[in-house]
Copies of this chain bind each other. A is one copy, B any other.
Amino acid sequence: MANCVVLLSGGLDSTTVAAFAMSQGFDVHALSFNYGQRHLVELDAARRVARELGLHSHVVCDIDLRVFGGSALTASIDVPHRQSGEAVDFGASKEIPVTYVPARNTIFLSFALALAETISASDIFIGANSIDYSGYPDCRPEYLAAFEAMANLATKASVEKGQKTTIHAPLLTLTKVGIIELGLSLGVDYSITHSCYDPVDFNKPCGSCDSCLIRMGAFESLGMVDPLF
């Protein structure tokens, strides 16, 4: 089996991606980051997911925060919460959310590239999707293609062995509903995942941040209840 690297946050998207990569016959090496996120509980979810899916390995990397500056996910900026009944735009807005972290996916993918080279993997999976795509610049297909082009000039493996690195973003054109359908078809148990930006108590999703509302709404569209609520 070929090795691959999967960026795993323990959320709904990256868990689906890990299951997808396994279904494609890859031996999955998961990579998570402790970057001082408010929702540190997601690292527990990532460990749970790695164990439940039976991934080959799981590395949690500490990322030094000092370069990141202001983001609602790392600093003392408030995560926006919606009032009951308030509409979520589900990505229709053209504004970049305050939860944007500078160059986050570039840093994450760079570490993934280093790990890929050390385990002779030429495939890296990331859970970028169409909801994120509308808001975060580093979830857009043109960004991911540019990263791949750069990666193919960056490594010893690319120069000496002509090894081509592929950045896979299998959720890119899927809606949240489509992602959940894909995961369910692969047998994913979404009760072990964690998506909340701002959990109120240990492991308890707030139910009112955009991340919670988007996944709750998607389960609802499928006639289901999000197993986290």
Residues of B within 8 A of A67 (CB): 31, 59, 61, 111-112, 114-115, 118
Encode contact with B along A98-123: 1 for CB under 8 Å, 0 otherwise: 00111111110111111101110000
**Roughly how many angstroms separate A61 CA and B59 CA in the complex, as a whole number?**
19
Residues of B within 8 A of A149 (CB): 146, 149-150
Residues of B within 8 A of A103 (CB): 110-111, 113-114, 117, 154-155
| CB contact under 8 A between A106 and B68, given known A137-B156, A137-B158, A155-B137 | no
Residues of B within 8 A of A111 (CB): 64, 67, 103, 107
B102 touches A118 (CB 8 A): yes
Residue in contact with A62 in the complex, picked from B62, B115, B156, B158, CB distance below 8 Å: B62
A interface residue count range (under 10 / 10 to 19 / 20 to 34 / 35 or more): 35 or more
12 example contacts (A-B, Cβ-Cβ < 8 A) are as follows: A61-B66, A69-B115, A102-B114, A102-B118, A102-B155, A102-B156, A106-B154, A107-B110, A110-B110, A137-B158, A140-B153, A143-B153
Residues of chain A at the chain B interface (Cβ within 8 Å): 31, 59, 61-64, 66-70, 96, 100-107, 109-115, 117-119, 137-138, 140, 142-143, 146-147, 149-151, 153-156, 158-160
